Structure 1
Amino acid sequence: MALIAAGALGWVIYHYAYDHFTQAAADQRPPKPVNINDVIKATVTALTLIGAVLAGIYAYRKQQLTEGDAHRADASQLAERYTTAADQLGHDKPAVRLAGVYALARLADDWKEQRQVCIDVLCAYLRMPYEPDPSLPGHKEGEREVRHTIIRVIRDHLLKPQARNSWSACDLDFTGAIFDGCDLSLSHFHGKVSFGDATFSGGTVSFGDATFSGGTVSFGGATLSGSTVHFGGGTTGFGAARFNGATFEWGPLPVPAGA
């Protein structure tokens, strides 16, 4: 069919070119006969140009289909990695949960379109019930290390806001989470950050030299009982911070001026 179509197109172009050259020859004084070689050359040239255009369109379309297939394959692979990492986070063994933390962090770096979703899962893990005291019911072996690893991973992605894999512009929801010590110093928080109803129950929580700008940070309803929370150094950008309803059971929290 392609050969038939090409032949028919060539026949039409040939007759069109022949008529054109015939008219041009007739308009000359004195009139000259039509040069068949010129007609054939014009026909071949026109067919070559049309073939080149069609070949370019075909190549472009093929490239689009190939890129589409590759994108779908990448998306499918990323979705599988997400499912695997999420399953690891729910595992009984702490070593497997730790592997899930790092796998989900790497996935957030590679999957920019769903980076916020991966971060939400890590934050949601910190919001789950947690008993840090080994002598009390509900305590899970290795859980403290898993949670502190999540916090370290998040903090590592907040240190350089201009980096390609920075999480500084993402939202962080720690609502109701229990912190028994963590280091978020030097972090850059540019999105919405919530420590609302969070409990700081032990250890040292450091926000030293952290930057809160471009978003909002809330400590509303947070409870500080037995934990030292540090906002020293060059902590900046507290104009959008809210501490309404926070409870300080052992002394006041050192909040920067203007907070």
Structure 2
Amino acid sequence: MVSFSGATFSSGTVSFLGATFSGGTVSFLGATFSGGTVDFLGATFSGGTVDVTAATFSGSTVSFHPATFSGSTVVFLHTVFSGGTVSFTEATFSGGTVSFGMVTFSGGTVSFTDATFSGSTVSFGAVTFSGGTVQFNGAIGQAPHGLIWTAGSPLPDGLTLPPSWRPGH
């Protein structure tokens, strides 16, 4: 296990550029991303577990652009996105499980622009949208569980989905 549990990323740059997470567990349990940059540019999550439970993203720039999630379990349980920018732009979700369970989006920007969802289980269960922006512009593939609203129901403020993920399309 590699643990960043309780770590605070508040300035500077931490780079996981091109890293491969292929076994074991990497924990960011309770980590705080409050400034600086954390870069997972081109990282591959192909096995093992990455636990981001109870983390707070409140002012950093965190980039998973264009990471590949192809066989690992990545858990964002009770995570709070209240500021800063988190980018999954052009990320590929092609296997494994990525869970955004009981997450709160209350500020900042989280972008899945041009992400590809094919063959993985990605879910947004019991998510709270109370501010900020969550974008899926240009995303392709199967919509993640929990992001399909019933026909006639408005999307939460700040949530943008591709037309093909809206009921009736």
| TM superposition score normalised by structure 2 | 0.61
1:225 and 2:130 are equivalent in the alignment: yes
Higher-Rg member (1/2): 1
Unaligned runs of 5+ in 1: 1-81, 131-142, 162-166
Runs of 4+ in 1 over 6 A off after TM superposition: none
Distance 1:92 1:144, change over 3 A: closer
Which residue does the alignment assign to 1:258? 165
Please list the CA deviations of residues 133-171 of structure 1 after superposition, one character each: whole Å capped at 9, or x if unmatched.
xxxxxxxxxx4137x62xx32x5315264xxxxx43322
For the residue of structure 2 that corresponds to 1:200, the secondary structure is strand
Amino acid in structure 2 at the alignment position of 1:174: F
Answer yes or no: is the 8 Å Cα contact 2:88–2:110 preserved in 1.
yes
For the residue of structure 1 that corresponds to 2:35, the secondary structure is helix
CA RMSD of aligned residues (A): 3.6
Shift of 1:174: 0.6
Unaligned runs of 5+ in 2: 45-65
Instruction: Report 1 or 2 for greater relative contact order, CA contacts < 8 Å, sequence distance ≥ 6.
Output: 2
Shift of 1:177: 0.5
More strand by share: 2
Which residue does the alignment assign to 1:144? 34
More helix by share: 1
Answer yes or no: is the 8 Å Cα contact 1:176–1:198 preserved in 2.
yes
Aligned residues: 136
For the residue of structure 2 that corresponds to 1:170, the secondary structure is strand
| TM superposition score normalised by structure 1 | 0.42
Shift of 1:220: 1.6
Shift of 1:243: 3.1
